Amino acid sequence: MKLTVIGLGQCGCRIADQFARLNLKAQTERRATIAPDIVAVNSDQADLTGLRFIKKDYMHSILIGLRQTLGHGVGKINEIGAQLAREDGDKVMDAIKAEPTFYETHAFLLIGGAAGGTGSGALPVIAQMIKERYLNKPIYALIVLPFEHEISSETRSVYNTGTCLKSVYDIADAVFLADNQRYVRKDASLANNIEKINRHIAEPFYDLMCAGEITKRKFVGSRTVDAGDIIATLEGWTAIGIGRTPLPSFRFPWEIKKKNFHEKAVESFRGSQALDATLSDLSISCDPGEAARITYIISGPAKEMNMDMVKSISDYIKEMSPTALIRGGDFPGEKHFIDITLIVSQLSSVPKIKDLYEKAVKYGQEHKGQIEESHRKIQSLADVGKELPTL
């Protein structure tokens, strides 16, 4: 599956930069292009300067709202981010149209942090512009939810998150949710933490996008999950994850063929182990039993994937989500591991979203009262000194 990737705001641009890295990796390792067009959009020029893999020209790194912000961001006010996107959205549309390979892509993926200003405000606006112009291409959003400390101490972040989620859900065909808190490593430095989180958020898309774009015969699976399967799966709230089980470092070919009963059992069980790892590492905490559509991809050496493994994984998912429409396939693209990529889509219940909505509504009600009270106090203080002469 080929995607046109658009990163919005600081968080969105940095994750889009990871997609640019994955695209280079796919071209090098698998001779496949998975993201022909990747664009970074921000109102802060310093953030754009810090990107490593996205091209630096003005058609790929787009600065919006320069007159209003002077290139220094919107200060977490997502209403301003939405306004700047409306005024300068044509720059993004022109950049998309200018890419020669744009029409090869199957869908759009818009990425943004829900708690910020530019990404939170611009994401639904740009999504609406694309929806009106390109009717035949699905629009997917990857929205990154705030850390716990942001939710507890930065109430504006909660309000931004609620308004962003509500606005994007009404426009996009599917919304991938990524909870920052699930990826935190408390003993790592801030810079390393953010870098690893961004990599972790982007990584599950790699096999998913590569599987249907491979041109070398040895990487083509017996049951390929391609763009049609993915598009048919994605709808509404969606979680994605990848789990991994390592294989023995080296074995001779005759050792692979001649296994005792214990080795054979362990070989089949590796798929279930990888699936357990995937479920524990989904991008947001949810119950897969609440999903109406599920797609999985098993990736590993062709000789290590067998029918017992596929049956075991398929049965496991069916028990977990008995009413879901399940699609699956294999992808012999990994050499040293058994990887399972899992998409659970059309989720009917996501506790984190419900909690954020409730907090955002509460903030909106309280904030309105606080502003009115603050204005009243300022006016009463001014009234006390209104008899004094001015200099």
Same domain for 340 and 281: yes
Same domain for 280 and 188: no
Domain membership flag for residue 372: no
Domain membership flag for residue 220: no
Reduced to 3 states (helix: H, G, I; strand: E, B; else coil), residue 226 is coil
Answer yes or no: are the C-beta atoms of 283 and 241 closer than 8 Å. Answer: yes
Q: What average pLDDT does the segment 123-139 reach?
A: 95
pLDDT tens-place string over residues 65-96 = 888 888 888 888 899 999 999 999 999 999 99
Same domain for 256 and 155: no
Query: Which of 313, 318, 321, 317 lies closest to 289 in space, CA to CA?
Result: 321
pLDDT at 369 over 90: no
pLDDT at 375 over 80: no
Two structure tokens written together for 141: 């959003």
Answer yes or no: are the C-beta atoms of 340 and 313 closer than 8 Å. Answer: yes
Range with the lowest mean pLDDT among 4-13, 330-339, 344-353, 380-389?
A: 380-389
Domain membership flag for residue 391: no
pLDDT tens-place string over residues 16-27 = 999 999 999 999
CATH number reported for the structural domain that contains residue 166 in this entry: 3.40.50.1440
Cα(156)–Cα(16) distance, rounded to whole angstroms? Answer: 25
Predicted pLDDT of residue 154: 81
Predicted pLDDT of residue 214: 80
Query: Which of 164, 118, 155 lies closest to 368 in space, CA to CA?
Result: 155
Query: Which of 61, 54, 50, 58 lies closest to 36 in space, CA to CA?
Result: 54
State the chain's mean pLDDT as an integer.
87
Domain membership flag for residue 215: no
pLDDT at 258 over 60: no
Domain membership flag for residue 352: no
Same domain for 280 and 193: no
CATH number reported for the structural domain that contains residue 313 in this entry: 3.30.1330.20
Same domain for 17 and 67: yes
Same domain for 196 and 245: no
pLDDT at 138 over 90: yes
Same domain for 311 and 195: no
Same domain for 159 and 103: yes
The structural domain count of the chain equals 2
- If phi > 0 it is left, if psi is from -120 to 50 it is alpha, else beta; for residue 81 that is alpha
CB atoms near residue 190 (< 10 Å): 7
Predicted pLDDT of residue 189: 58
pLDDT tens-place string over residues 269-325 = 788 899 999 999 999 999 999 999 999 999 988 888 888 888 889 999 999 999 999
pLDDT tier, 353 (very low <50, low <70, confident <90, very high otherwise): very high
Same domain for 264 and 153: no
Predicted pLDDT of residue 95: 94
**Owning domain of residue 247:** 237-347
Same domain for 121 and 70: yes
pLDDT at 260 over 60: no
Same domain for 273 and 190: no
Same domain for 175 and 70: yes
299, amino acid identity:
S
